[in-house]
Structure 1
Amino acid sequence: MIVSALLMSVGINSSLCILFFTLYSIIRKQPGYYYVYVPRLLTAKGIKRIRDRMRRLLPSSDWVKAAWKLSEEDLLSTSGLDAVVFIRIIILSLKIFSFAGVIGLFVLLPINCAGTQLAAFDITVISSETLDLFTISNVNNGSKWLWVHCSAVYLITCLVCFLLYHEYDYVCSKRIAYFYSAKPQPQQFTVLVRGIPVPPGSSVSESVDNFFKECYPSTYLSHVVIHRTNKLYNLINDVKKVYRRPLHLQSEPADEYSTCDTPFRISSHKSDHDKKPEHLEENRITEQSYSSFSGKEVRSAFVFFKSRFTAAIASRLQQSEKPTQWVTEQAPEPNDVYWPVFHSTFFRRWMSRVVIIVVSILLTVLFLLPVVIVQSLANLSQLEIWFPFLKSILSAKIISQIVTGYLPNLILQLSVKLVPPVMEFLSSIQGHISYSEIQRSACDKFLWFIIWNIFFANVLSGSIFNQLSVLLDLRNIPSHLAVSVPAQASFFIAYVVTSGWTSTSSDLFRVFQFIQSLFQRCCCCKRTDLDEFELPYILYHREIPKVLFFGLLGITYFFLAPLILPFLLIYFFLAYIIYKNQFINVYAPKFESAGKFWPTVHNCMIFSLVLMHAIALGIFTLKKVRSASTLIFPLPLLTLLFNEYCRKRFLPNFVAYSAESLIKKDKEDWNDPEMPQFFSELVTAYMDPALSPSQLSNSIGHTSSTRSDISDDSITPLLSHSVFNASLWGGGQAV
């Protein structure tokens, strides 16, 4: 990619970012879009309608100040430890690349530009030259200046390892402190049991009760058997749809928070009106009663204990001589339970994992098609050979710049957006019992997917993609990477700008939700009712891999093409402000894993370092500085030893809490007068939502409540009103 095409991509994406920021700062202040841009504040009554229309139509940037001032303690109290860990990933990246940027831009980049390995170029026509002139490829073979690059590799390795150790230790301490500061939680006293053997003439409930009374006579409390409720969930959804329709049809004209300001309505389908609410409700109650019978029992149960320590022991020990029976694991939070998976047998879960591995490999292979398209667009001469009829169109300068500089990354970004939902679906059928486990599994799948398909496939496609014999030559892989990676520097800079700057800014503006809201206002006229409204939550399995992949690009290209570093720093700064703003205004926590995503972060950083070392080894070998290659060789081994030390030192605290912590917390609860009440409520904490009593029938004839119907005392604000007002109006008092 030539410099002019890269500048075109930067210009287009910068304009889009400015557009998204401007529209966001205006539209977020319009009452009709509160549900899109400030749903957390709206449900917490943290905002008031502003009367000054001129003030509402002027863009403002004071929300940036509010996001910047949000402390870690406030973020922890409102969004949980997972949100803190996510922001810590961005902070870690800012620290690394701020240091790397100083070395890269002020030391390495001048050395690269001063080289004469590539043909000399005229500064007046630099826009038609490639970015290779700014990379290590331009440094002369055997040059002593390459020792500066070697020293830089050592410096960045030491810095990253130091920061990783500090952050691992910090997150680990926050996780323990979070455990000590939290009130008693149901999941701490609960164990999930699967593969329950049932003797003839007995039920699952009786088997569980007899087994745990015998094994844990003094600390066993009670249990809840899981039932088959798939059909019941479908009935409940039908009942909700039918009951909600009268609420929308009978509701009064839209108030200031309504999503519809037009008098037009689209009539419902006749089949929906023909459904009898009373008949559906009777079917629901009948199915609920039937699902409660022993014949609908699944051989799984939640077992409750009187102490955390006993629950931890029961979840870790093998309960039976047959490993596939009485399989135990720590229960997730009640609202984190993924109910559809419990009817799966051990064999079915095992087969699902095998099938998912095969499907993931096939998905990775199939995704190479858009990668080939992207590479063909980035290579204009190859595109003209494949499609000669486009030669006249591509000869136009601006068209060629857009095609080679912007279009490839746009296609790649749109293709990648389809992957996280697929990975989440694959993880959901893999046998995980909670949404948090599903997201962590999908996070790992998506991370390695983009590392292979975005980095390796793009890097290798231009040189050895069609040479399978070269791919199998493992000894020469560092040399091939050394040739291919610097050549793709301009492509990945454009990728950072497109998938980083623009994508993050579009997440701030919430483009899809905004368009959906416009459609509802203009066509559907569907009221947004607080009783139906569900706060959005951040998709960690989509966002964490994206941040980590940009970290991989920065570490890899740090000494190869330092010009990428300022673009990465701008992205991480935007991400820091935008995501903190979204945690204040938009995202509510769906689950809490207490920082269990961090080991994935650590492992990816270690992989990035080892990859950088492999490329450096190949570069210095090709540049005929064999002494530097010899000096680089111990680095990956030392890095892997460091990783093993961290794994032994910190990882066990992310798998389970220590016996010391559990016993100490149990002793604190002995004199707590609220514990008897907690244990009495613990039995009902893990009731399947499909079997809980429904209040839908009470909603017949009841219209949607407005904001004035909600008492201030019934809602606890998420943050102080000063943060709310600063976030929305710029610190002024709304009236």
Structure 2
Amino acid sequence: MILSALLTSVGINLLLCILFFTLYSILRKQPSNIDVYAPRLVAEGKAHSSAFSLERLLPSPGWVRRAWQLSEDELLSAAGLDGVVFMRIFTFSLKIFSFMGLVGILILLPINYVGKQLNAFDISDLPNKSLDAFSISNLEDGSKRLWVHFVALYLATGVVCYFLYHEYRYISLKRLDLFYSSKPQPHQFTILVRSIPKSSEGTSSDSVESFFAEYYPSIYLSHTMVCRTSKLQGLITDAKKLYKKLTDLKSDAHAQHKSRRSGFLGLWGQKVTLVDHYGKKLEDLEENVRMEQSDVSLAREELPEAFVSFKTRYGASTALHIKQSDNPAEWVTEIAPEPSDVYWPFFYATFLPRWISKLIVIVATIILTLLFLIPVAFVQGLANASQLVKWLPFLKGILTIAFVSQVITGYLPSLILQWFLSIVPPIMKIFSSMQGYISNSEIEKSACTKVLWFTIWNVFFANVLTGSAFSTFQFFLDFKDIPQTLAIAVPGQVQMSLRIYLFFPSF
């Protein structure tokens, strides 16, 4: 890729950023979008619509300055610890990027460019230079300037480790301060016990009572058995969706007067307003929920799982970390999630199905990662104009147009790759939900971990190797030359991979 193609990509992305900032600045001031951009004010009853003014239609960048001027204490009270950590991630990234940018632009790029391995130094033809001229591959074999790269690498590693330690220590202390200053929550006194062994003398509830009363007599408080309520959970989910739809209708003055027929699919029957129609359906669902709750209480189909509560948080933590049985598949303890965070669909799976599902998900994740080599190889082919013409000769005439060539090789690869990457997080979340996690937060954490490893593989391995293979495809014909070929091609290809992810961020 030539430098002008990179600058074209940067220019397009900057224009898109300005466009998105402008649209956000205008849309956030429209009364119809107040539920989206100011949900906290709506929940607190502080939101109010004002008279129309021209200022609503003009972009105002003042919100950016106010957002950055917000103190950490104000951010903590408004958005919680998650908001503080999110902003710390931004500041941490800016610190690392600033340091790396200064070292790379002021030291490494000039040293690489004056090398003679690929081409002679010609500052007049700089826009048409290949980016390989700015990489380490342009240094001569055995050049003493390689020591600058080694020193920069160790220096960068040390700086990153220092900032990581500082941020981790700061956030950990902040989390402890918030924990000690907040009110105790019920789930902090509770653990989840799974795989409770069956007893011939009584029920699972009796087994839990006798077990914890015997081994934790001074700290054990009570327990609640988990019962099979799959139908009840479905009714509650439907009721929540209907309640949300009814709330949205009531908040919209125009939608309150909309009507439909009460018959099947609204095709026949008496005309009723949507508010009355959904209100009646919600009442019916609430009645069904109460009846199902009664049936569950009477049937009481207990599962070998229980929420066990203790008198102190220290007692719950002690029971959580102590091995309860010689058999690792029995009396398994886990942290109890918050009531609103419980994920019920996979809650009833036993040890073996959960273990099998984890194995299946690992295999499926590996297959997805390998299949992603197809779009990655395609993108790398677009990024190399000479190779693109070689494989698709009919594009030779189009690529002779400078701007079209710069867009195809400089911007289109990033756009296509990021479009493919956008479908990865939802797929990873589906995979994580199949692994037997009992809380939504654990599912999201597992999905983030999968996306992280997926991105690392594609940035540092798949992207580089496929690009190197595309540029030197003949190395597959002689396997003994593979290490030497990759050693030459990979350094020049790394800048392409980093450009794709730096100038067109993924998530």
Q: Secondary structure at the match of 2:109?
A: helix
Separation of aligned partners in 2, 1:249 and 1:151: 63
Judged with a 3 Å threshold, the aligned counterparts in structure 2 of structure 1 residues 252 and 194 are, in CA distance, closer, same or farther, namely closer
Structure 2 residue 389 is the aligned partner of structure 1 residue 395: no
1:383 corresponds to which of 360, 385, 388? 388
- Taking a change above 3 Å as real, the CA distance of residues 316 and 202 of structure 1, as seen in their structure-2 partners, is same
Unaligned 5+ segments in structure 1 are 255-259, 501-542, 544-735
Aligned-partner residue type, residue 88 of structure 1: R
Q: Structure 1's 102 and 282: CA in aligned 2 closer, same or farther, altered over 3 A?
A: closer
Whole-angstrom distance in 2 between the partners of 1:172 and 1:343? 34
For residues 117-176 of structure 1, the C-alpha deviation after alignment (integer angstroms, 9 at most, x for no partner) is: 321254443332211222223333333333322322232222222222222322222232
Q: Does residue 113 of the first structure (1) align with residue 113 of the second (2)?
A: yes
SS at match of 1:320: coil
d(CA) in 2 for partners of 1:71, 1:59: 24
In the TM superposition, what are the counterparts of 1:549-564 in structure 2 within 5 Å? none
Aligned to 2:265: 271
Question: How much does 1:492 deviate?
Answer: 2.8
Deviation per residue, 1:596-620 (Å, 9 max, x gap)? xxxxxxxxxxxxxxxxxxxxxxxxx
Give the whole-Å Cα distance in 2 for the aligned partners of 1:73 and 1:250: 35
Corresponding residue for residue 441 of structure 2: 436
Q: 1:239 to 1:336 in 2, by over 3 A?
A: closer
The amino acid across from 2:408 in the alignment is V
Query: Who is 2:10 aligned against?
Result: 10
Question: How does 1:32-43 map onto structure 2 within 5 Å?
Answer: 32-43=32-43
1:496 is aligned to: 502
AA in 2 matched with 1:325 = E
Question: Secondary structure of 2:447's match?
Answer: helix
Mapping 1:289-368, distance limit 5 Å: 289-368=294-373
* Contact 2:2-2:127 within 8 A present in 1 as well: yes
Name the residue aligned to 1:181: 181
Which residue pairs with 1:25 in the alignment?
A: 25
**One-letter amino acid matched to 1:216:** Y
Shift of 1:470: 9.2
Aligned ranges 1:557-572 → 2 under 5 Å: none
2:79 equivalent to 1:79: yes
Query: Separation in 1 of the partners of 2:67 and 2:406?
Result: 36
- Tell me the secondary structure at the aligned position of residue 498 of structure 1: coil
8 Å CA contact 1:204–1:297 kept in 2: the answer is: yes
Report matched runs for 1:420-431 at 5 Å: 420-431=425-436
Relative distance call for 1:79 and 1:293 in structure 2 (3 A) is farther
Sort the Cα spacing of 1:470 and 1:415 in 2 relative to 1 into closer, same or farther, 3 A.
farther
C-alpha distance after superposition, 1:587-640 (max 9, x if no partner): xxxxxxxxxxxxxxxxxxxxxxxxxxxxxxxxxxxxxxxxxxxxxxxxxxxxxx
Partner of residue 486, structure 1: 492
Q: 1:181 to 1:473 in 2, by over 3 A?
A: farther
Report what 2:377 is aligned to. 372
Larger deviation, residues 398-407 vs 12-21 = 398-407
Asked if the contact 2:260–2:266 (Cα under 8 Å) also holds between the matched residues in 1, the reply is: no
Distance 1:218 1:140 in 2: 74
In the alignment, is residue 198 of structure 1 matched against residue 192 of structure 2?
no
Aligned pairs, how many?
493
Aligned partner of residue 348 in structure 2, secondary structure: coil
- Please report the TM-score for the alignment, with normalisation by the length of structure 2: 0.87
**Residue deviations 1:315-371, cap 9 Å, x none?**
111222322221112212222222223210000111111111111111111111111
Deviation at 1:247, TM superposition (A): 7.1
Alpha-carbon distance change, 60 to 146 in structure 1, aligned in 2, over 3 angstroms = same
Which stretch shows the higher mean deviation, 12-21 or 243-252?
A: 243-252
Q: Does residue 131 of structure 1 match 2:158? A: no
Residue of structure 2 equivalent to 1:615:
none
Structure 2 counterparts to residues 719-730 of structure 1, below 5 A: none
The residue type paired with residue 65 of structure 2 is K
* Corresponding residue number in structure 1 for 2:59: 59
- The aligned residue for residue 88 of structure 2 is 88
Q: Secondary structure at the match of 2:224?
A: strand
Contact 1:6 1:494 in 2 (8 A): no
> 1:455 Cα shift?
3.1
TM-fit CA distance, 1:29: 0.6
Contact 1:464/1:471, CA 8 A, preserved across alignment: no
Which whole-Å CA distance do the structure 2 matches of 1:365 and 1:490 have between them? 20
Give secondary structure in 2 for the equivalent of 1:117: coil
Deviation (angstroms), 1:299? 1.4
Amino acid in structure 1 at the alignment position of 2:75: L
Other-structure match for 2:273: none
Report if the CA contact (8 A) 2:468-2:493 is conserved: no
2:352 aligned partner, one-letter code = F
Distance verdict in 2 for CA 1:470–1:54, change over 3 Å: farther
Asked if structure 1 preserves the Cα contact closer than 8 Å seen for 2:459 and 2:497, the reply is no
User: 1:269 Cα deviation (Å)?
Assistant: 8.4
| 1:192 alignment partner, SS class | strand
| Alignment partners' CA distance in 1, 2:23 and 2:62 | 14
Q: CA deviation at 1:250?
A: 8.1
Q: 1:464 offset after TM fit, Å?
A: 4.2
Aligned partners of 1:145 and 1:367: how far apart in 2? Answer: 37
- Contact kept in structure 2, 1:50 and 1:56, CA below 8 Å: no
Query: What is the alpha-carbon distance in structure 2 between the residues aligned to residue 74 and residue 291 of structure 1?
Result: 46
User: 1:490-639, aligned counterparts within 5 Å?
Assistant: 490-499=496-505, 543=507
In 2, the alpha carbon distance for the partners of 1:339 and 1:295 equals: 17
Contact 1:113 1:133 in 2 (8 A): yes
User: How many Å separate the matches in 2 of 1:471 and 1:206?
Assistant: 66
* Equivalences for residues 276-287 of structure 1 within 5 A: 277=281, 280-287=285-292
Contact 2:204 2:302 (C-alpha < 8 Å) held by counterparts: yes
Secondary structure in structure 2 of the residue aligned to 1:223: strand
For residues 479 and 31 of structure 2, what CA distance do their matches in structure 1 show? 58
Alignment TM-score, normalising by the size of structure 1: 0.61
Post-superposition CA distance 1:524-560 (Å, at most 9, x none): xxxxxxxxxxxxxxxxxxx5xxxxxxxxxxxxxxxxx
Residue in structure 2 matched with residue 652 of structure 1 by the alignment: none
Change (3 A) 1:68 1:246: closer
Question: What is the percent sequence identity of the aligned residues?
Answer: 52
**CA separation of 1:103 and 1:280: change in aligned 2, threshold 3 A:** closer
State the secondary structure of the residue aligned to 1:363. Answer: helix
Q: Which range is displaced more, 212-221 or 144-153?
A: 144-153
TM-superposed deviation, 1:73: 2.0
SS of 1:176 mapped into structure 2: helix
Deviations 1:260-296 (A, max 9, x none): 79x9989898337889836544433222222234542
| Contact kept? 2:226, 2:302, Cα under 8 Å | yes
Aligned equivalents of 2:241, 2:159: Cα separation in 1: 56
Distance in 1 (alpha carbons) for counterparts of 2:439 and 2:223: 19
1:79-118 alpha-carbon deviations (Å, 9 max, x no partner): 3333323332332222223223333222222222322332
Between stretches 69-78 and 338-347, larger displacement belongs to 69-78
Superposition RMSD on alpha carbons, in Å?
3.2
1:307 Cα deviation after fit: 0.9
Contact 1:235-1:280 within 8 A present in 2 as well: yes
Offset at residue 413 of structure 1 (A):
0.4
RCO higher in structure (CA 8 A, sep ≥6): 1
Relative distance call for 1:32 and 1:464 in structure 2 (3 A) is same
CA distance in 1, matches of 2:365, 2:382: 26
Secondary structure of the 2:345 match is helix
8 A Cα contact 1:3 1:131, kept in partner: yes
| Aligned equivalent of 2:274 | none
Q: Which moved more, 1:342-351 or 1:215-224?
A: 215-224
SS of match in other structure, 2:468: coil
| In structure 2, distance between residues paired with 1:14 and 1:266 | 47
